[in-house]
Amino acid sequence: MSDIEKYVDKAMFAAAPMASTTPKVYLLSMTPDPLGANAAAVRMYKGIPTYSLSDISDQERIDYWEQSQLTELKAPHEFINLHFFLEGVDRSFTHQAVRQRTAVYAQESLRFAVKDARLIDECSRPPSLDDPSRSQSIRNDLEDAWGKALDQIEESYKFLIANGVPAEDARGLLPGAVLTRYNYATNLRNLASEAGKRLCIQAQFHWREAFLGMREAVRNYEPTGDTGFDQRWQFEMIADSNVFSPVCYQVGHCGFKAEFDRGCTIRERVDAYEAHGVSSGSWDPEMRKAFLTDPKAGFVS
């Protein structure tokens, strides 16, 4: 079948296959001297003008970064910009992602990108299908129901495309679980705000996978071009900070206590720490480690 017969709209194209069915994060660009940019802004609070980042010592970079963690004046973090590329996230994820209004997005559009691959390979798979508390027989039935539904959607979707229906109309059949990819640009202040919410147990586990991917992408980032000095330690310092922590670790108390908020497996411990005046930097290291290493740790239904 020719492309003209297959794609009624010449702007349509075959979507590139997904490299992964779980979130993968790539940091395309970042402010090359992030702690220098932060220091320049903090120095202005003290009336110290900065005419070149080369005038700032590495010790000043560290000191001003540490001081900026101890204040609610987070404007200096807005001078640190990041541009990520995320792949293997589903459309339900991106529907939530764009609620952050302090960011820029460029997403693969299903108006033109045609899902030619097997749909079951182009959708995120809910982990509840593998819930060990269910019998193997029930898990098999759930797996069968999930697969049959996707196969039926795929058959109908491809039939419509092959018979002259534009992708922008046929895409209405595709589920929220269909995978996508997008560019995401924001600054560190707003990234930390989103991380606080999305790393909380309140959020769907895919968010923790994505933000842990962002954290590692920052840790391993190497600026392109000859900067004249090794700055990798700066990115490691940012990755290990409270930027990539649930909001309770950022502010020292639970921020989700409305009647409509979901349950949390660590809220009682957080409340106890707050009641006894224990700062979040001294909280249970194993609890923090779980948040920063296991995307599914601590989740409740």
> Does residue 150 sit in the same domain as residue 226?
yes
pLDDT of residue 90: 96
| Predicted pLDDT of residue 86 | 98
Instruction: Band the pLDDT of 231: cuts 50, 70, 90.
Output: confident
**pLDDT tier, 291 (very low <50, low <70, confident <90, very high otherwise):** low
Catalytic residues: 198
The verdict on residue 290 lying in a domain is yes
Pair (177, 193) in one structural domain: yes
Structural domain count of the chain? 2
Above 70 in pLDDT, residue 7? yes
CA distance 255 to 235: 28
> Among 216, 244, 272, which residue terminates a domain?
244
CA separation for the pair 200, 63 (Å, rounded):
29
Reference 300, options 273, 278, 267, 272; nearest CA is 267
Domain boundary among 244, 273, 290: 244
Q: Count of CB atoms within 10 A of residue 137's CB?
A: 8
Domain co-membership, 17 together with 131: yes
Asked whether 199 and 291 are in contact (CB, 8 A), the reply is yes
Q: Which domain holds residue 136?
A: 3-31+80-244
Query: For the chain, what percent of residues have pLDDT higher than 70?
Result: 92
Domain membership of residue 41 (yes or no) is no
The answer to whether the Cα torsion of 122, 124, 128, 132 is positive or negative is positive
**At 132, which CATH number?**
3.30.1360.170
pTM of the model: 0.90
206 and 144 part of one domain: yes
- Assess whether 188 and 257 both reside in one domain: no
Q: Which residues of 104-135 are buried (b: 16+ CB within 10 A; e: fewer)?
A: eeebbebebbbbeeebbebbbbeeeeeeeeee
pLDDT band at 229 (very low <50, low <70, confident <90, very high): low
Residues 230 and 298 reside in one and the same domain? no
Greater pLDDT, 88 or 281: 88
**pLDDT at position 297 over 60:** no
Residue 51, domain member (yes or no): no
- The answer to whether residues 107 and 256 belong to one domain is no
More confident residue, 222 or 291: 222
Asked, for residue 155, whether it belongs to a domain, the answer is yes
Task: Give the Å distances, CA to CA, from 77 to 7, 26, 102.
Answer: 46, 21, 13
